[in-house]
Structure 1
Amino acid sequence: MSDEQRRESLADQAAAWVPPWERPRQHTPPHDDTADDPRAAAEGAPDLAAPAPGEAGESAEAEEPAGAGESGETGEPAAAGEPAAAGEAAGVPERQPAGRRRVTAAPEPAPELPDAELRGALEAILLVVDEPVSELVLAQVLQQPVERIGPVLDEIAAGYTAAGHGFELRRAAGGWRLYTRPEYATYVERFVLDGQSVRLTQAALETLAVVAYKQPVTRSRISAIRGVNCDGVIRTLVTRGLVEECGTEQDSGAFLYRTTTLFLEKLGLNTVDELPPLAPFLPDDVEELADATR
């Protein structure tokens, strides 16, 4: 072949060349052992790997990847309306996306009690308490708004007073409790004491009065007011829960004492501000006595 014929042949081959990405996709049949048998080839055996004319579409569908949630060969999400993935069809629950929490319904609030039932429930609780109970505790027990408790208790207290009962409902130590009326104190004292001696001695009562009106106060200050050593009396009052320590004095480091809520409960007071004033009980020459003791 001459050089000119060779150049024309190469030019024709270059013009007829098709890039691989533009070539049509061909189906590669699986390897068949009969293809290597010369006798089968000589007898003109049919190509078993070639699909039948009616099975071309089925072969194309069989080669498509059966990925869950993807369509075609691009890996894009499946369109809406397509069947669920194999795991969902088998009954596996769908997993929620990360960061999304399941919202549960809030518990329904307790219904409000009628006024008559709420009044009876409060009276029943107040009859069994052994110390003043606050409005917040009553509201939590009855599952009612705390705003309803105070007005109902005031109404109950006013009703007891108007009816002239031998007991009354009043605030004490930050809560509510039933107390006997002062005008019946002699009868109650006769029933409770019944010949028993007074629980607190005169010295204990005097010391307790000093603590109540001068609190917070140190033991040395109490001893100076009473004129005697009161260490033993203070220990007795602390043991009975009427007096407690409440810190130390900044200058001397001595312990400070004050009255407790039990003291307020026993006297039927809400705060120490309700103690009676001392001015009517002081002598006229109190200033002269104070100067004489200095």
Structure 2
Amino acid sequence: MVVDEPIGEERLAGVLDLPRAEVRGALRELADEYAAQGRGFDLRFVAGGWRFYTRAEFSEAVDRFVLDGQQSRLTQAALETLAVVAYRQPVSRARVSAVRGVNCDGVMRTLVQRGLVEEAGSESETGAILYRTTNYFLERMGLRGLDELPELAPFLPEAEDVEADSQEGSIITEAVAEAVVAAQSTDSGTRDDDGNSDA
């Protein structure tokens, strides 16, 4: 109830002075019990830890109570940039800009400030800073890990639909943005002040 990010089983086991397997079993039992009872909240395993979330069917009421209509959503440019980083990480700003077809420096700074993207070293050849998504990104998307991101294939057009290489960047950008939106919409919870799903 008091954590501000998902907490791992090992840490919980240490605090409770119990074996990790026992803690894991108890958490799963609680999660199943809450789901069976239709409680207003879920206990979920995301981003390598456990945390309480608003149950999807009650998220609208919680949004109204907590946010009172004041939401600041990610822009389309930020969503597209975040999608490219998610699927191509670790990736440089120059590479993200090349895929999107526009300069993304300002958008990347915003994503870093919001804690969705972080630095991940630098390219050995160019020295360019590389970026990756954070655990906070996984938490907000409701993902246990990056392997749960939706496959891109269903969002990509057939090869013959791509008329020129110059269009490839915008097609990939749209595809990854749709895929991230799909992942976000499969598990809706309360939204934070950025308009991101608390899923």
Question: 1:154 is matched by which residue type in structure 2?
Answer: R
Map 1:31-70 onto structure 2 (within 5 A). Answer: none
- SS across alignment from 1:198: coil
Instruction: Give distance in 1, aligned partners of 2:52 and 2:164.
Output: 42
Which blocks of at least 5 consecutive residues in structure 2 are unaligned? 169-199
Deviation at 1:227, TM superposition (A): 1.1
Residue in structure 2 matching 1:213, options 64, 83, 87: 87
- SS across alignment from 1:200: coil
Partner of 1:183: 57
Partner of 1:268: 142
Instruction: Give distance in 2, aligned partners of 1:232 and 1:166.
Output: 38
Matched, 1:225 2:112: no
Residue in structure 1 matching 2:120, options 208, 233, 246: 246
Instruction: Give distance in 1, aligned partners of 2:60 and 2:72.
Output: 14
Distance 1:251 1:274, change over 3 A: same
Instruction: Give distance in 1, aligned partners of 2:150 and 2:57.
Output: 18
- SS across alignment from 1:179: strand
Matched, 1:281 2:190: no
Matched, 1:235 2:109: yes
Deviation at 1:169, TM superposition (A): 1.1
Matched, 1:134 2:8: yes
Question: 2:98 is matched by which residue type in structure 1?
Answer: A
Partner of 1:202: 76
In our comparison, the structure showing a higher alpha carbon Rg is 1
Question: 1:257 is matched by which residue type in structure 2?
Answer: Y
Instruction: Tell me the TM-score normalized by structure 2.
Output: 0.76
Distance 1:285 1:187, change over 3 A: farther
Deviation at 1:212, TM superposition (A): 0.9
Distance 1:165 1:133, change over 3 A: same
Deviation at 1:286, TM superposition (A): 7.4
Map 1:51-130 onto structure 2 (within 5 A). Answer: 127-130=1-4
Instruction: Give distance in 2, aligned partners of 1:288 and 1:215.
Output: 24
Matched, 1:161 2:35: yes
Contact 1:172-1:269 at 8 Å conserved across structures:
yes
Which blocks of at least 5 consecutive residues in structure 1 are unaligned? 1-126
Instruction: Give distance in 2, aligned partners of 1:182 and 1:144.
Output: 32
How many residues of Structure 1 are paired with residues of Structure 2 in the alignment? 168
Distance 1:232 1:163, change over 3 A: same
Question: 1:167 is matched by which residue type in structure 2?
Answer: F
Map Cα deviations across residues 109-168 of structure 1 (whole Å, 9 max, x no partner).
xxxxxxxxxxxxxxxxxx222111111111111111222111111111111111122221
- Between the two structures, name the one with larger relative contact order (CA 8 Å, sep ≥ 6): 2
Map Cα deviations across residues 78-130 of structure 1 (whole Å, 9 max, x no partner).
xxxxxxxxxxxxxxxxxxxxxxxxxxxxxxxxxxxxxxxxxxxxxxxxx2221
Identity %: 62
